[in-house]
Amino acid sequence: MTRDEWRWFVRQDGTEHCDADDRCKAVCGEIAQALGRCGYRTDILPYPGECGVQFRSVAQAAGMGRTGTNAFLLHPVWGPWIQLRLLATDVVSRETLVCSSPACTRCGGCVTACPAGAILKDSFDGLLCHSYRGGKGEYTPFGPERELKYCTICADVCPIGRQPKSSTDPFKDNR
């Protein structure tokens, strides 16, 4: 996994994409096809803003990790560096879901590092985060590649999981 896979771009039709999400959707598509061949119905849900379902809550209930102070779902191995997608299906599972242990150590690194003051020890202010990022022009495509240079400070400082490798930091100019 490299950091470049987490760079988001805006296509000419206005849709956003990054390699990590493209791959995630491709895997969902393969699973959907396999289930379809067995007669099950499936639907790959759009992002929470469109479908109203918070992906990290579902992922947490499925035992993939626990939400940390920085509001990311923290996977025990990959920390915040995971891409989530939901595949709805009418398959009935006989497995009992096992909840993951909390990975967040409450070290406070993200609380101190957030330039917007959006992360508190016991809560996360999504509006503060959003308005800080909007003020930095993060929602406006940048340069010929139409990149969105999203803030990743609260993921960068988090000691949980493996940081993606990168020789250059595409986000540094936006801090």
**Positions that interact with ligand SF4 (CB under 6 A):** 68-70, 104-110, 114-116, 118-119, 129, 132-133, 151, 153-154, 157-160
Q: Which is nearer to ligand SF4, 136 or 146 (CB)?
A: 136
Q: Which is nearer to ligand SF4, 135 or 144 (CB)?
A: 135
Cα separation, 175 vs 16, in Å, equals 21
For the bound state, the minimum distance from the C-beta of residue 89 to ligand SF4, rounded and expressed in Å, comes to 31
Which positions ≥6 away from 34 have C-beta within 8 Å?
none
For the bound state, the minimum distance from the C-beta of residue 157 to ligand SF4, rounded and expressed in Å, comes to 5
Q: Which is nearer to ligand SF4, 24 or 113 (CB)?
A: 113
For the bound state, the minimum distance from the C-beta of residue 34 to ligand SF4, rounded and expressed in Å, comes to 35
Q: Which is nearer to ligand SF4, 36 or 134 (CB)?
A: 134
Structure tokens at 175: 């801090």
List phi, psi (to 5°) of 74: -95, 110
For the bound state, the minimum distance from the C-beta of residue 78 to ligand SF4, rounded and expressed in Å, comes to 13
For the bound state, the minimum distance from the C-beta of residue 54 to ligand SF4, rounded and expressed in Å, comes to 16
